[in-house]
Amino acid sequence: MKAVFGFSILLALTGCTTSNTSNRVESLLNQMTLREKIGQMNQYSVGPELTGPEGAQNDRYSQFENGEVGSAINLIGHKDIRKLQELVVEKSRLGIPLVFAHDVIHGYKTIFPIPLAESCSWDLQAIEKSARIAAKEAAADGQNWTFAPMVDISRDPRWGRVMEGAGEDPYWGSLVAAARVRGFQGEDLSDPLTLASCAKHFAGYGFAESGKDYNSALIGRNDLRNFVLPPFKSANNANTATFMNSFNDIDGVPATGNKWLVNDVLRKEWMFDGVLVSDWNSVGELVNHGVVKDRAEASALALKAGTDMDMEGANFIDNLEGLVLNGSLPESLIDDAVRRILHLKQNLGLLDDPYRYLDSKREQEIVMHSQHLEASLDMARKSIVLLKNENALLPLKDVSSVAVIGPLAKDKDAPIGSWRAQGKSNSAVSFHEGLVNKLGNKVQIAYAEGCKLSIGPNNFLNKLKIEQEDRSGFPGALAVAKKSDVVFMVLGEPAFMSGEARSRSDIGLPGLQLELLQEVYKVNENIVLVLMNGRPLCIPWEEGNIPAILETWHLGSRAGDAIADVIVGDYNPSGKLTMSFPRSEGQIPIYYNYRNTGRPENDNDLVFYQHHMDVDRTPLFPFGHGLSYTTFDYSNLAVRTMDNELEITVDVANTGERQGEEVVMLYVRDKVASVSRPVLELKGVRKILVDPGGQKTVKFALTKEDLSFYNVLEEFVFEPGAFEISVGTSSTDLLTETVQFN
Ligand code: NOJ
C-alpha cells in the first residue's frame, strides 16, 4: 500500500511544469510530517567505503524505509544505487528519492592529476574539462553530487589536503573554483551526465594551525575576507549547488556553528540559496569543540547557523524533532532547510525520475572511455613542472643507457593519488612503463628499486608506515647507476601520504629515499630527480645538488606516459607552481603574497629586521616558478591609465630553439592603503604559445574593482593612489612600472 501511495504522489508531482518548481516543492513540503522533513536533512554513508570514522549505529535500514534519510554517500555502482533508491521510493510514505553523493575529486574511474597538480597547468579549459569528464563518469554510474571542488587556500604544505586545492593564491584559486564548478555541473543539473558540485570547506580549513588536519585556524577578518573567502565567493557566482561546512574553528568559533559566516556572509551577503551540508559529523563534533554540551545542542546550533544536512552523524534525526516539539526550535528553520534540499533534488531531475542517473548502458559506454584517458594524459603533461634543468640535461639526448631507480619507479599506485573515487589501486601507467614504451629498445633501461617506501596497508583508512631501516637494495641501485649515462631517481610520497588526515611535520623525502639519492649521487651525478608527491616538499639538498628536477605530483591514470613525453622532449613543459616550496619547515607558512611588515626582510646584514638566522629568506622554489625547454624574454612593459581602467602590455619573446607555452603573470602592489596590502597580488594570467624566434604582445586590463579589497569595515573598496604593476614569468622574476590610479 505504502509503495503505491509513494509512487502516486510522485506521479502527481511529475505532472507539474518546471516553472512550477517552487509549487511542487511547497506541495511536497505541505504533505510531510516533521519527522519526514528532518529525514531529508539526514545523510548516511552507505556500504563498505568509509571516508571518516564509523558513525551512529541507528537502524539505518528502517530509517531508509521510513523516509528518515534524504541522502546517501559512498554507495558505489548504479546497480546498488538502484536497489537503495527503489527501497526508499517504493517503501517510504512519500517516496522522495535520495540524492547520492561521493567524493569525486580528480576523476571517477579515469583518474586525472590531483587538483594541486592540475592547478599548475594554468589552463582553465583543461581543468574544466577534467571536472566535466569526472562528472560524466560518476553520473553515468549513478552519482548525483560530488563533494568538490575543495577551494581552500593554504599556505602550509604540511597540511595533507593541499593536494585537493589550487594552491596558495586567492585569485587563481577563484578562477579554478569556478572552472571546476562549471565542469561538474555543466549547463543543466538535470542532465544525467552532470553532478551537483560542493564548494568546501567553508571556511578556513586550509589554515589549520601547524598544518595539522582538523586543527584550529587563526584568521583575522581581513585575511578571511581577502584571502580565504574569494574562491568560495567565486564558486557561488558560478552557481555551485551546494557548500560544505569545515571541521575547524576560526578564532574559537567552529565553522559548523558559525552564524556570521553562514547566515550573514554566505546566505545574506552572497545570497546563496542552495544546500549547505555539514562535514562528516562536524555537527556532533561541536560537542568536542566545547561550544555545546550535547548532540541536541549541537544540532540546534548547527541548524541555526545555516546547516541544512547532517553528514553521517545522525545528530539531526536523533534530536531536532524533540527540540521543535518542546518549543526550543521553530519548525520554520527546518522547513527552510528541507525546501533547499528538495529544490536540489528537483534541479537534479530526481523528483521527475528517481532513476534518471541509473542506466547500465550509459555506464558501459562512458566510464573509462578512451577519450577520457586521452584527456587525462593531456592534463597530466600540462601539470608537470620542470623545477630545475642544469646544462639542459632534459630532454634526453644522445644517451644509450639510463638507470631507473627508486621505490616509485614501478609504482602503479602512487600516481592515482589520494581521494581517488573509483580509481583502481595499482592501475596507473608507471614511470618505468611509460619510459619503456617511449624509448623501446633504442636505449638500454636498467632498473633497481633501491629501497622500499611504505610497509603494511596503503589505503584511505589506515596510517601509513614508512620503511626506515632496510638498505639491502642500495648496492643494486648503485650498480645500475654506475653503468648508465643518465639516472632517473623516482622518489616522493605514496598516494596516501597526502590527502585528509595526512599532515606531516617533516616534508622532506620520506624514509630512506634521500639517503639513497645521496649514495647514488656519489657514483653518478647525472641525475634527473622525478618527484611524485601530493604537496610541496622541502628538498634543499636535492635542489642544491641534483642537476634536473621534474615535479610530477600524482598525475593520474596516464602518469608514466605523460612523464615520458616530457623526458624525451615530445612535450615541452609549461607548468608553474601554485604553491611555494620552502627551504625548511621553519619557514612555513611561506607564500608570495605576504605583507611587507614594519621591518621588511632584505638582503643586508643588519640584524633588527624580519628574518630567520639560519635560512635564506626566499622560498626554495617560488610561486609561479616553472621552466620550459625554451626561454622567454620580457620587454616593453607599458601601463596606460584610461578612464576607468589600466591597460597593460608587455612583449614576450621566445629566445630559445623550440616552440613553447608560457604562462604570463600580472601582479599588483597597492603601495599605500588603509590596511597593509600584500607586496604582490596576482591579478591576471595568460597562457601563450610562441614559436622560436617569435614574439607576442600580451595585453591585460585592470579595473578599479580588480584593485579593490576588503577594508577593516569589511567593505570592498577601491582606494586611489599609486600601484606597482608587474608582469613576468614568476612571482620573483618581474618587470615593474608604478602608476597613479585615481
Ligand atoms: C570528510 C572530508 O573532510 C570531506 O571533504 C569529505 O567530502 C567527507 N569526509 C565525505 O567523504
Contact (CB, 8 A) for 47 and 76: yes
CA of 279 to the centre of ligand 1 (A): 6
Residues 703, 709, 715, 719: what is their CA dihedral angle, to the nearest 10 degrees? -60
Q: What is the pLDDT of residues 712-726, one digit of tens each?
A: 999 999 999 999 999
CA of 326 to the centre of ligand 1 (A): 33
Identify the three-state secondary structure at position 727: strand
Contact (CB, 8 A) for 111 and 429: no
- Position 18 confidence tier, pLDDT thresholds 50, 70, 90: very low
Q: Record the pTM.
A: 0.97
Q: What is the pLDDT of residues 402-453, one digit of tens each?
A: 999 999 999 999 999 999 999 999 999 999 999 999 998 999 999 999 999 9
CA of 284 to the centre of ligand 1 (A): 15
pLDDT at 7: 34
Alpha carbon distance 422, 103 (integer Å) = 10
Of 2-6, 113-117, 699-703, least confident by mean pLDDT is: 2-6
Q: Which of 415, 484, 502 shows the shortest CA–CA distance to 447?
A: 484
Residues near ligand 1 (Cβ within 6 A) = 51-52, 103, 147, 200, 279-280, 500
pLDDT at 308: 98
* Residue bearing the CA closest to ligand 1, atom 7: 147
Tell me which of 151, 197, 205, 279 to substitute to probe ligand 1's pocket, judged by most ligand atoms within 8 Å of the beta carbon.
Answer: 279
The atom number, within ligand 1, closest to the CA of 148 reads 7
Residues in the chain, total: 742
pLDDT at 643: 85
Dihedral sign, Cα of residue 453, residue 457, residue 460, residue 465: negative
pLDDT (mean) for 469-480: 98
| Domains by residue range for the chain, with CATH | 382-583 (3.40.50.1700), 632-741 (2.60.40.10)
pLDDT at 232: 99
Whether the per-residue pLDDT at 506 is higher than 50: the answer is yes
Alpha carbon distance 55, 91 (integer Å) = 24
Whether the per-residue pLDDT at 735 is higher than 90: the answer is yes
Q: Which residues contact 233 (CB under 8 A, 6 or more apart)?
A: 174, 270
CA of 150 to the centre of ligand 1 (A): 10
pLDDT at 4: 29
pLDDT at 435: 98
Whether the per-residue pLDDT at 57 is higher than 90: the answer is no
- Position 631 confidence tier, pLDDT thresholds 50, 70, 90: very high
Whether the per-residue pLDDT at 630 is higher than 80: the answer is yes
Q: What are phi and psi of 70, to 5 degrees?
A: -105, -15
Q: What is the DSSP code string of 264-333?
A: IIIIIIS---SEEE--TTTTTHHHHHTSSSSHHHHHHHHHHTT--BEESS-HHHHHHHHHHHTTSS-HHH
Mark 329-364 as b/e (b = at least 16 C-beta within 10 Å): beeebbbbbbbbbbbbbbbbbbbbebbbbbbeebbe
Contact (CB, 8 A) for 696 and 645: no
Q: Which of 384, 375, 366 shows the shortest CA–CA distance to 111?
A: 375
pLDDT (mean) for 173-184: 99
Strands 145-146 and 99-102: parallel
The atom number, within ligand 1, closest to the CA of 52 reads 9
CA of 242 to the centre of ligand 1 (A): 14
Whether the per-residue pLDDT at 19 is higher than 50: the answer is no
Q: Where are the alpha helices (DSSP H) in 348-459?
A: 360-366, 370-383, 431-439
Task: Measure Cα distances from 724 to 25, 401, 640, 672, 719 in Å.
Answer: 53, 50, 13, 11, 14
Beta carbons within 10 angstroms of residue 705's beta carbon:
10
Measured over all CA atoms, what is the biggest interatomic distance in the chain, rounded to whole angstroms? 85
Q: What is the pLDDT of residues 545-571, one digit of tens each?
A: 999 999 999 999 999 999 999 999 999
Identify the three-state secondary structure at position 671: coil
The atom number, within ligand 1, closest to the CA of 312 reads 10
Q: What is the DSSP code string of 538-601?
A: --HHHHHH-SEEEE--S--TTHHHHHHHHHHTSS------SSPBPSSGGG-S--SS-B--SS--
Average pLDDT in the chain: 96
pLDDT (mean) for 354-363: 97
pLDDT at 315: 98
Q: What is the pLDDT of residues 313-351, one digit of tens each?
A: 999 999 999 999 999 999 999 999 999 999 999 999 999
Q: Which of 279, 378, 413, 565 is catalytic?
A: 279
The atom number, within ligand 1, closest to the CA of 51 reads 11
Alpha carbon distance 687, 592 (integer Å) = 20
Contact (CB, 8 A) for 139 and 95: no
Bond preceding residue 692 cis, omega within 30 of 0: no
Tell me which of 49, 103, 282 to substitute to probe ligand 1's pocket, judged by most ligand atoms within 8 Å of the beta carbon.
Answer: 103
Q: What is the pLDDT of residues 660-677, one digit of tens each?
A: 999 999 999 999 999 999
pLDDT at 20: 62
Whether 279 sits among the annotated catalytic residues: the reply is: yes
